[in-house]
Structure 1
């Protein structure tokens, strides 16, 4: 009887684990195998070719550019979403009459479809679009750019659009973290003569670490897996200037290079795992020690 009670939680886990295994674990293992093959649309016989697909990834200029763009996008969006998210959360945690309205305004873009965002931003970001016209109107002509057609800045433009869309979501998580911090800490710090900056460094940041941890993980994984923003705004263009790993995977499968596409996807999975898990462990340890 005692044994059956001890095993009861596992009986509840097995159905979910079975579904997860069938739809995620098994396909992932099969995909790992096919990433070492020459699996193509025009091939009837699939041959094992070892590391050739991975050598192609690191020797093809377009694929290397896609990897570089993915890293740039991830770094820029992680920094932008988290810094702006904390700033907005602190500002809207104050006693403002319109704070509830402002929270809704800043959060609302995160629930919009990326297709809607592209319809709004694509005309605005054209050379003759509203953003350049506004810059010219206030005398900032040197700042006008070909936002979506200049290869040197297009990935930065897409990152800025992504930050605009999702920063409200990060703000909401930070806001929840701030509201869970007791005001007694700040009152005690004020009595001890601590100013706003010292209170932020010594009270807010340490107690906000769980929210920071969550947001870092979400933004990092989302940044490395970027696809929809690039696909709807530029399609990887101009040329291949804004290609990322996600769009390269789509192109590889579209061209029938299924083995290469699977290899790129495997590399993406490995990269996300190797970066996110050590960061998660580090942040969890910081939560405990603070």
Structure 2
């Protein structure tokens, strides 16, 4: 094994750890505050769908001999740039997204007081069901294709590979929009109170290493279809980093003096004109 292969594996491990750990600061912060105020359920809820799709697509690319054969036929004999750490990351992300979403949907079970943000917005629900319908349409087309089980026909016919791509694009769609409600919530509140910046810093580091790993893998294969053949993984890192930069700007620059950020230790109880902290 050469240096680049070792470096790729190292980047994969580190970005998996960074992205995996990034799921913990937000639910832990909410648990410590006994509140989800300042944040919205839209992010963890749509994340559940996104990581379910990501897990299914990654596991299929990694384990299915048919999908790998169809991929090879379409991309000049190459193999998908999906690693086992991608599967474990997706599974872990799904579990933590469900846990985080439950803090909003079932606040009393966590000992939280109900707060604004417990109900998903209509745009997020529209994206949620739109993605489900879109995948269903592609599955219908693939099932009706006579060449769906053929590897040789993967170049110019509808095959199961296209169905898996449709599932993977759900994760891409989710990533492109999932942070928007929280960005807008921070903007309206003029504060990042309740929103953990640590998860953003870890996400940003993971995005850089994920893209670096994919670039190394493509260079090793001497073919950049390692990126074009797996656009979701490439786009995930880029889209996440753009949002991460926005959150960093909000937290450290735009609302750095806002009353919310320093009070992430606990919720405030308001009585008349006085505020008292509950730690």
Same fold (TM over 0.5): no
Q: Report which of the two structures shows the higher radius of gyration computed on alpha carbons.
A: 1
Q: Name the structure with the higher helix share.
A: 1
TM-score (ref. length: structure 1): 0.27
TM-score (ref. length: structure 2): 0.28
